[in-house]
Amino acid sequence: MGGDNVDVNVSRHLGVVGRVNLGSFYTPAKYVRIASEWLLEHGIGDGWTIADLSCGYGAFFELSEVEGLHGCRYVGNDIDHDAVKKAKAAFPNVRFCECNALVDVSREKFGIGACDKLVIVGNPPYNDVTSQINQTIKNNSIPIDSDLRTRDIGMSSLLAYDKLKAEYVLVLHPLSYMIKKANFSATQKFFRNYELVEHVVFSSQEFAGTSKLAGFPVVVAMYRRKDGNGLSYADVFRTWFRTVEGKSFSLSGFDYVTDEIDKYPGKQRYTPEILFYTMRDINALRRSRTFLQERIANAIDVNPEKLAYYCYVDCFKRYAEVPYYLGNFNVPFVRAEFASISNDVTRVSMHGHPEIFGSKQEPDACTVARVKQYIAKALQGKETNNAN
Ligand SMILES: C[S@@+](CC[C@H](N)C(=O)[O-])C[C@H]1O[C@@H](n2cnc3c(N)ncnc32)[C@H](O)[C@@H]1O
């Protein structure tokens, strides 16, 4: 609750379209509490400036009510006039601006001095303009400085924080910004200057008003500026991420079947022609088709010698029970044991797609059970987690 009894954690003034376009899913109070603990542990207090440049109703300004953080100076900003109005009423001691945080980015614009010790907090808007979720209502008309332009305004926000040279950045963002190589590269200018000092992963379904179908992992991450010596993708690959439920996982902890096959359309053609839908990550696989009858722009040509791997992906889509935090991972498998399951997955998958492979004999229950068991093992990963 904010000072004026406004519930600052839930956006109420926007409809679905407005919420998707502005990325207005406000931060649950428990993550602001976690943020306050980390700030104190890292010595933030009197003399620091804490800014949330996309502050919504000001959920993060609850920090100003935490003992030890009273003495900080607080700066708020949002592009949404109604949100700023509510934030002003709830937090009269915060100095607010009301502008687009992604154009003409400078400390001066927000009244922050060049030498001020700055922490940027918050939950920047995420709105991947290329993703297919909510595609019909997305609009990407908000202007963004050319050096900050990416496919997602959340990634652009990280680039803006780097430009502002904040000493610390403590924000929520989709874990995919860090763990998907293409996103990491697009956000390189931020990551190369910041090291990850604290984090916890939780499900996007914790945000009020989000779809129950498409939960994705969000990380609350505290970064410390380390000019030119921040995170590399190799660091990310080795990191053991911890979730709010007490689980941990690492990109390095799995073998990926996608390392054996093509994930995207290419020029090579094979006989017989077998087509499969483009593979992005596990969450995309959940929504997409697998084997295709018709050649479409997103069709991959299956090398018949590698058919079993594609059949495995098809079985994985059907049977895998994947925790939300692995949603942006590639499809895992157990490389050392694949030869022992390849006939089973081929039988199960072919039977499931008579439109592609003709009618096949139904696999017996033991075959299906072996496939399910193998998938469960693949999801356990190959390494012992040494983070616990
Ligand atoms: C995910 S909400 C987070 C709000 C708040 N920081 C919180 O944690 O509860 C994202 C906010 O970004 C604002 N926003 C979207 N695009 C913006 C832009 N270009 N400049 C400033 N704010 C923006 C939205 O209006 C929305 O309030």
CATH number of the structural domain spanning residue 121: 3.40.50.150
Residue 385, in any domain of the structure: no
Cβ of residue 127 lying under 6 Å from some atom of ligand 1: no
Which ligand 1 atom lies nearest to the CA of residue 32? Answer: 8
Residue 6, in any domain of the structure: no
Cβ of residue 60 lying under 6 Å from some atom of ligand 1: yes
Strand-pair partners of 207? none
> Would you say 360 and 367 are in contact if contact means Cβ atoms under 8 Å apart?
no
The domain in which residue 366 lies consists of 255-380
Residue 5, in any domain of the structure: no
Residue count of the chain, please give it. Answer: 388
Question: What single-letter amino acid sits at 229?
Answer: N
Residue 316, in any domain of the structure: yes
Which ligand 1 atom lies nearest to the CA of residue 55? Answer: 6
**Is residue 286 located within the same domain as residue 239?**
no
**Rounded distance from Cα 321 to ligand 1 centre (Å):** 33
Number of folded domains in the chain?
A: 2
**Is residue 165 located within the same domain as residue 295?**
no
**Is residue 134 located within the same domain as residue 164?**
yes
Which of 201, 217, 246 finishes a domain?
246
Cβ of residue 152 lying under 6 Å from some atom of ligand 1: no
pLDDT at position 388 is 40
Ligand 1 pocket mutation pick from 6, 22, 110, 150 by most atoms within 8 angstroms of CB: 22
**Rounded distance from Cα 383 to ligand 1 centre (Å):** 38
Cα–Cα distance for residue pair 371/375, rounded to 1 Å = 6
**Is residue 240 located within the same domain as residue 290?**
no
pLDDT in tens, the chain (388 residues): 554 455 777 776 756 666 666 667 788 999 999 999 999 999 999 999 999 999 999 999 999 999 999 999 999 999 999 999 999 999 999 999 999 999 999 999 999 999 999 999 999 998 755 454 555 544 567 899 999 999 999 999 999 999 999 999 999 999 999 999 999 999 999 999 999 999 999 999 998 766 656 689 999 999 999 999 999 999 999 999 999 999 999 999 999 999 999 999 999 999 999 999 999 999 999 999 999 999 999 999 999 999 999 999 999 999 999 999 999 999 999 999 999 999 999 999 999 999 999 999 999 999 999 999 999 999 999 865 444 4
CA distances from 149 to 179, 300, 323, 358 (A): 20, 30, 32, 48
**Is residue 259 located within the same domain as residue 239?**
no
Residue 203, in any domain of the structure: yes
Does the predicted TM-score (pTM) go above 0.85?
yes
Which ligand 1 atom lies nearest to the CA of residue 100? Answer: 20
Ligand 1 pocket mutation pick from 78, 86, 210 by most atoms within 8 angstroms of CB: 78
**Is residue 285 located within the same domain as residue 235?**
no
Cβ of residue 26 lying under 6 Å from some atom of ligand 1: yes
**Is residue 219 located within the same domain as residue 262?**
no
**Is residue 199 located within the same domain as residue 303?**
no
**Is residue 49 located within the same domain as residue 192?**
yes
A 10 A CB-CB count for 251 gives: 20
Residue 310, in any domain of the structure: yes
Which of 196, 223, 246 finishes a domain?
246
**Is residue 210 located within the same domain as residue 308?**
no
Minimal-distance CA residue to ligand 1 atom 18: 100
**Is residue 151 located within the same domain as residue 184?**
yes
Residue 386, in any domain of the structure: no
Residue 281, in any domain of the structure: yes
**Rounded distance from Cα 325 to ligand 1 centre (Å):** 24
**Rounded distance from Cα 253 to ligand 1 centre (Å):** 34
pLDDT at position 213 is 60
**Is residue 70 located within the same domain as residue 212?**
yes
DSSP, collapsed to helix, strand or coil, labels residue 304 as helix
Alpha-helix runs per DSSP H in 149-298:
153-163, 176-179, 181-186, 188-191, 233-238, 282-287
> Would you say 11 and 209 are in contact if contact means Cβ atoms under 8 Å apart?
yes
Cβ of residue 257 lying under 6 Å from some atom of ligand 1: no
Which ligand 1 atom lies nearest to the CA of residue 52? Answer: 6
Which of 214, 246, 278 finishes a domain?
246
